[in-house]
Amino acid sequence: MTEGSGLQAMEASCKFERIVMKKLPFHFLKVQLENFGAKRSGAMDADQFKFVVLKALRELHGDIGAAIAVHVIEYQRETNEAILQVPSDGLVKVWSALTMYSKHGEKPCHFKVSKVSPHLASMSADSRKFMTELLKPSLG
């Protein structure tokens, strides 16, 4: 066995394959609904929040937009903030509908989209608040 054939055999047995998923099936949005002039005591629950999101989709994109599967993963009643799961194909429609929504009932309001990511884990960390959250236990 020559030195060259041994090297070729080693190269043949050591194949590395890189797999990259360019298109993930879902995206996650962290959104907050700000009601102007509304009392905080009448805060909505997760089902009502989802209803408002679907209403925004229906107003801008009609029945096709309202058919997009939007799921509320987490909802914070105190701040009207939620993490939504949407199909990647419908991300632009959902985002645009939330951006254009401006009135709930007769009261002005708007959605604030603070984060968008294809990975749910990235929704938990916030680099802008990291140091304050880290130092809270030592300050208190």
**Closest to 98 in 3D by CA, of 127, 136, 70, 129:** 70
pLDDT band at 40 (very low <50, low <70, confident <90, very high): low
Mean local confidence (pLDDT), 47-59: 95
Average pLDDT, the chain: 84
Instruction: Using alpha carbons, list the distances in angstroms from residue 34 to 13, 18, 47, 71.
Output: 59, 44, 17, 19
- Over pLDDT 70: what percentage of the chain? 74
pLDDT value of position 17: 77
- Alpha-carbon gap, residue 27 to 88, rounded angstroms: 5
pLDDT value of position 76: 93
**Closest to 100 in 3D by CA, of 57, 137, 47:** 57
Phi, psi for 97 (deg, rounded to 5): -65, -40
pLDDT value of position 140: 53
Mean local confidence (pLDDT), 9-30: 78
Bigger pLDDT: 19 vs 3: 19
Instruction: Using alpha carbons, list the distances in angstroms from residue 38 to 6, 41, 47, 125, 130.
Output: 76, 9, 18, 29, 30
**Collapsing DSSP states into helix, strand and coil, what is residue 85?**
strand
Q: Are 105 and 37 in contact (CB under 8 A)?
A: no
pLDDT band at 22 (very low <50, low <70, confident <90, very high): confident
- Alpha-carbon gap, residue 53 to 5, rounded angstroms: 64
- Alpha-carbon gap, residue 76 to 33, rounded angstroms: 11
Q: Are 94 and 84 in contact (CB under 8 A)?
A: yes
Does pLDDT of 9 surpass 90? Answer: no
pLDDT value of position 52: 95
Does pLDDT of 84 surpass 90? Answer: yes
